[in-house]
A and B are shown apart, each in its own frame.
Chain A
């Protein structure tokens, strides 16, 4: 599957949807700072990987997908949930990259400049996330292909079994 840019999604979003993300993002960043000040960096650091805007973002994805389906005259509820679920699966893959980001900052920051470490860690996040995503795609494609082949061979086997149970007339029909 190819990665594409689709700017039409920006037109579907309302101004308050951007505001919600801004507020949630800002609130969690402020909270991480407050927790670190009050309880120390070991506890505050956990919040640097807090799923800050995830519930809001998933709700928006469901809403947009639902509206799209309903415009096409279909029931969008199931489709909306599935779309949000696929987004969550992507976030699970992205979290592996997030751990790589943190590892590079932890190891690199005491000995190097912030700019270079931050740039390297962000690149590592992107590269790791994309690699995990690509790997999952390859595994899923192979699994699906094997599943289809197994289904086909099962169907063929059951047809042959039916044919042998029904005697020569049915067998003849298969042979014709």
Chain B
């Protein structure tokens, strides 16, 4: 429980710091780069190396490559829905997460399992 709480706090701080950077940068497309910042990864890897070791953390990083590819398809779909189709933001960003799950778990099933 203590470890989960520590992850929550460290993750929250790192994610907020990157989000703040994205807030103050212009133009919007450049600030958007920070929407895909490795904030969760930085927080997780620091704690994982300390508790589980480097080999375990590097295995997580290998899976993260597929997570990042899934993120690409997700963000591309959201961008298309908002710019071309003019869909409302919350349903477009929320429901498109299904695509992230499909791509990430599909890659895990096909390559990593």
A binding-site residues for B, Cβ under 8 Å:
1, 3-7, 9-10, 13, 18, 21-30, 32-34, 36, 41-55, 57-59, 61-62, 78, 80-99, 101-103, 105-107, 109-110, 114, 118, 121-122, 125, 129-130, 133, 136
Contact = CB atoms under 8 A, between A and B. Distances in A.
Contacts of A33: 3-4, 7, 44, 47-48
Contact of A45 (B60, B87, B113): B60
Interface in B61-105: 61-72, 74-76, 78-83, 86-90, 93-94, 97, 100, 104-105
A36 to B, nearest CB: 6
25 contacts: A3-B27, A26-B10, A28-B11, A32-B40, A33-B3, A41-B52, A45-B60, A45-B63, A48-B38, A48-B61, A51-B93, A55-B89, A59-B93, A86-B28, A88-B75, A90-B35, A91-B35, A98-B64, A99-B65, A99-B72, A101-B41, A102-B65, A105-B58, A109-B61, A118-B42
Given A5-B25, A58-B93, 10 more contacts: A26-B15, A29-B44, A30-B11, A42-B108, A49-B64, A87-B28, A90-B32, A98-B68, A109-B54, A110-B58
Contacts of A7: 24
A18 B23 CA distance: 11
Interface size class of B (residues with CB under 8 A): 35 or more
The 8 closest A-B pairs by CB, nearest first: A90-B32, A29-B11, A25-B15, A45-B63, A94-B36, A49-B67, A85-B82, A26-B12
Contacts of B76: 88-89, 92
Interface string B13-30: 111100110111111111
B14 to A, nearest CB: 7
Contacts of A45: 59-64, 67
Contacts of A43: 63, 108, 112
Given A81-B88, A122-B42, A90 B33 contact: yes
